[in-house]
Structure 1
Amino acid sequence: MLPHPYCTLCTKHMETTEHLFLLCKWTKKIWTDPRLQINSTPSNITRFDRWLLEVFEKSDILPEKEQIAAVLWNIWKARNDSIFRGKTPQPTAMVDLALAQQVKFSRWQSKEGQKPINRNLPTRWKPPEQGKLKLNVDASWSPGDFSGSAAGILRDSSGTVANGFVVPIRALSPQHAKALALLQGLKFLNQTEATHMGLGVVQSSGWTVESDSSNSVDAVMGQAESSWDIKAIIEQCKEELLFIKSVKGVAVTVEHCLREANRAADWLANSHRSKNLPG
């Protein structure tokens, strides 16, 4: 039996990341609990990762980051318990458990004598090794009309931009858009010739492709199963990788990076979707 694409908690809406963790009727009861007091509406949520960054930036007036992380983890766990064990989620009990876990973690951290994490420490893009190239890919997506843009920036070990691409896409969710961006990036590498970039080292060296979508990266590298909505895209990505290796003779690695290290590709995708790229 094929899994249906609807939310297993409300069975009324598509189970996107944003719906499951933020917008589902059941999930909203968790975030609006007096101990959390986080209100979310479809109008102010476009992408889950952006919502998370905005919440973290307001940490002085909202729950601690560890509490939010614990709540998100327990939402995912409750979702799976509902599917595989038939358990009915209890929002109040969920918040109780998440807060208890956060307290336990704080006590453990205190006993271990760990130094506070510098949350303002920037994570920058790291250049590839000498003689290699790195392609960073990202996507920008609009939930209203399912339109978006995929973009990629190819740079060498000195950080110099060697090439790049930007294309319009249509996607069902942010995760779908990210997977399409990765696929477009691999297709771009397949169509790229070293002579077009003036870099003779490309074909005898290696390429790295970075994406801030851990789901897509893990699935392409065979470290995790892909979800139903991006399964076909992941298979196409694997075919592109095989073609690059067998025909071009170039070793390509696909790696996950933090969003902070992917800002250039993110800016390019957002600018293209909003039609703000210079002519």
Structure 2
Amino acid sequence: MEKNGEYKVRSGYDMQHASRNSPSLQSMDSSHIIKPEVWKFIWSSLTLPKVKHFLWRVCTNSLPTMKNLFSKRIAPSPMCPFCLLYEESIEHLLLQCSWTAGVWFRLPISYKVDPALITTFDDWFYGVCGLLKQNSRAWEILSCWVSFALWNIWKEMCTFLYEHRDPNAWGVIESVKYVVAEFSGITDHPPQVGVEEKCKMKDGPDMWSAPLGLNIKINCDGAWDAYSNLARIGVIARNSSGAVINGCAKSCYSSSALHAEAFAVKEGLILAKSMNATTMCIELDYEQLYNAVVKNSSQISWSIYPLLVDIKRLKIGLLSCMWSLVKRFRNAAGKWLARQAKKGMYLGDWINHPPLSLQHVLRLDGLPAPPLDLDSYICFVVLFCLDVQFCCFSLCSFLLCLIKENF
């Protein structure tokens, strides 16, 4: 109705249009409300208009996925035609499918999809794009990567379904890199904002200090190989008495040293959750990562923002999580684990029976280490002598063969 009480077609149209395009526009699930910021992220992203329209259709659940087609009795099954394990929803198609997750991880942003942390697509999109200040240069580049990655994944899955051609992950990656380079003016590798350097602190204690009370302190460190893009991470947890209570050493692919350090911090939080820890302290020696996690600094490579999303989500379940930036030698235990993973060493039950080299690190931290095992020393000496004897025998055999050939 108009203000004077008369009904006009224009007033009815305006009311219906306002209800459909209100900020609380709902998805197919009537209980879910999309945040207004999501639409702002979509329409201001650095991408093509058709890709913006595609993102709008994704958020409103308007794509012809198998789940949607099955609900309308068009498709015979709601299952994903590629993995055949789960229903092909929007989230599964663009993020959670095993093939799709592999594409995200192989992109230069090296985003590792965690299906457990993804509820709806719009919440995921808001979490990724909401980390940076909107319309900043870093935000534009990140939105460019995300939008074109989603668009090319969708096109490739359609090609697989309708042209019966196996999806080409590397073809998708190269297409995304080419388009992003054209739109954002960057090279094939993500730009690094600032210099990636290990922290060099001038103050603070010279030795590792135990946490107070019932707290747990976790040291995280990562080692990255630029030639193979392999990262080795080490995480070690100790209690208030300095005793080692848990830890892990893993290998993964990474795009930079900063990326490896972020992986280590994420694994540290996962380890804390597995231990049901509520109060803890995490120590790291990478200043840029510390500023990004604790101070929400934007002066950092945007390639780790998806990892920062995971780190901040994992922090939510902890009652109290303190962060500490320390010198490199105060993080020696975590660095020891990362180096063992880099060497491919088998650590066995290193928590209850730490090797001699780890015992040495723990003693340098100024805290009691497990008693040195005399049998281990004897075994080490015997093996060393056998190795020397074998080397001498091999050298003599080689010299005899050489003499016989010449004479």
Scaled by the length of structure 1, what TM-score is found?
Answer: 0.52
Q: Secondary structure at the match of 1:125?
A: coil
| Contact kept in structure 2, 1:128 and 1:134, CA below 8 Å | yes
Q: Deviations over 1:176-227 (max 9, x none)?
A: 110111111111111124xxxxxxxx55xx2001111122222222441253
Q: Name the residue aligned to 2:327.
A: 258
1:140 to 223, 246, 249: 223
Q: Name the residue aligned to 1:228.
A: 302
Q: Name the residue aligned to 1:274.
A: 343
Q: Name the residue aligned to 1:219.
A: 292
Q: Secondary structure at the match of 2:213?
A: coil
Q: Name the residue aligned to 2:262.
A: 179
1:13-162 alignment runs, 5 A limit = 14=189, 49=198, 123-162=206-245
Give the aligned residue type for 1:254.
W
Q: Secondary structure at the match of 2:297?
A: coil
| Contact kept in structure 2, 1:122 and 1:260, CA below 8 Å | no
Aligned-pair Cα RMSD in Å: 3.2
- Partners of 2:258 and 2:336 in 1: CA distance: 18
Q: Deviations over 1:49-106 (max 9, x none)?
A: 4xx99xxxxxxxxxxxxxxxxxxxxxxxxxxxxxxxxxxxxxxxxxxxxxxxxxxxxx
Change (3 A) 1:256 1:20: closer
Give the aligned residue type for 1:139.
G
Larger radius of gyration: 2
Aligned residues: 168
- Partners of 1:273 and 1:170 in 2: CA distance: 12
Gap regions ≥5 residues in structure 2? 1-45, 47-139, 143-179, 349-407
Deviation at 1:173, TM superposition (A): 0.4
| Contact kept in structure 2, 1:209 and 1:252, CA below 8 Å | yes
Q: Secondary structure at the match of 2:303?
A: coil
Deviation at 1:166, TM superposition (A): 1.5
Q: Name the residue aligned to 2:315.
A: 241
Deviation at 1:16, TM superposition (A): 7.0
- Asked whether 1:188 is paired with 2:271, we answer yes
Q: Name the residue aligned to 2:282.
A: 209
Scaled by the length of structure 2, what TM-score is found?
Answer: 0.37
Give the aligned residue type for 1:213.
Y
Give the aligned residue type for 1:145.
S
| Contact kept in structure 1, 2:190 and 2:303, CA below 8 Å | no
| Contact kept in structure 2, 1:139 and 1:269, CA below 8 Å | yes
- Partners of 2:332 and 2:228 in 1: CA distance: 24
| Contact kept in structure 2, 1:153 and 1:165, CA below 8 Å | yes
Q: Secondary structure at the match of 2:212?
A: coil
Gap regions ≥5 residues in structure 1? 22-46, 54-116, 194-201, 245-249
Q: Deviations over 1:31-56 (max 9, x none)?
A: xxxxxxxxxxxxxxxx954xx99xxx
- Asked whether 1:164 is paired with 2:247, we answer yes
Q: Percent identity, please.
A: 22
Change (3 A) 1:158 1:142: same
